[in-house]
Amino acid sequence: MAHALASPSAAERWFKCSGSVLANADMPYETSLAAANGTLIHHMTEMLLKDRLRDMTLRDYWLDRKEVIEDFEIQIDEEMINCAEVYVDYILKREEELGARRVIEEKVYLNEISDKCYGTADCILLAENRICVIDLKSGKWAVDPVKNKQLMIYGLGALTRYGGGNPDITMELTIVQPKVSNPIKTFEISAPNLVHWGFNDLKPAVDACFEENPQFVAGDHCRFCAFKPNCDTYKRYEEK
């Protein structure tokens, strides 16, 4: 699947540095061992959530197996399996509590805002007057769901597809991150407030990325920017 130019996962960066979007589009694709581990853990969760295991546990199937992901050979260990199980257990628990319908790995679009901003939500739960977006983070760098731009973009895409224009919907945006001390964190926002954010904050930020002269702004948000070694603005920032 082609990635969006204004990728939800990089939104925290391009909200602050509009020049980073097209600059990164010209960079060669690079991955990391951490990203490959995350991809493999997502594969495990999908097997569980789509009921692809027959008469065996995740450990029976995966423990000590070796898989090659993005040229990295990875041996599956207990920590990876635990990460997948914590995420799946939370989804199943919340699904039962809400009597919700589950949608896995759903591609969501925001065409009224921009056709250059879309992504794939790990899990969406659809309940009466509530839509839950549940995102798995497999790293050890704690991620906060409160006004998290990536989650809000996924939430807005889910609301666009499944909300039916209902203003009474509450959006429940959750990060499950098993490797940190507080592994399940949730932020709630009303559908009207999320839509307001989409048109008044997200749309101007996306549009700025595709202006004739987008602005480069350096800061902590440059951490994972592939263009950083070539960026004059970042070099001046480092020299301060």
Q: What pLDDT score was predicted for residue 161?
A: 96
Helix or strand (DSSP H, E) at 60:
helix 58-62
Q: Tens-digit pLDDT profile for the chain (240 aa)?
A: 467 999 999 999 999 999 999 999 988 877 889 999 999 999 999 999 988 888 889 999 999 999 999 889 999 999 999 999 999 999 999 999 999 999 999 999 999 999 999 999 999 999 999 999 999 999 999 999 999 999 999 999 999 999 999 999 999 999 999 999 999 999 999 999 999 999 999 999 999 999 999 999 999 999 989 999 999 999 999 887
Tokens linked to 173? 């945006």
For the domain made up of 31-209, the CATH class stated in words is: alpha beta
Q: Are 61 and 53 in contact (CB under 8 A)?
A: yes
Quote the CA–CA distance of 20 and 149 in Å, as a whole number.
16
Q: What pLDDT score was predicted for residue 239?
A: 84
Q: What pLDDT score was predicted for residue 214?
A: 96
Q: What pLDDT score was predicted for residue 231?
A: 94
Q: Which of 227, 232, 160, 228 is nearest to 194 (CA)?
A: 160
Q: What pLDDT score was predicted for residue 2?
A: 65
Q: What pLDDT score was predicted for residue 70?
A: 85
Ramachandran category for residue 79: left, alpha or beta (phi over 0 → left; psi -120 to 50 → alpha): alpha
Quote the CA–CA distance of 133 and 71 in Å, as a whole number.
30
In terms of C-beta density within 10 A (0-12 exposed, 13-18 middle, 19 or more buried), how is residue 111 classed? Answer: exposed
Q: What pLDDT score was predicted for residue 186?
A: 98
Strand 130-136 versus strand 170-176 pairing type:
parallel
Domain boundaries, the chain: 31-209
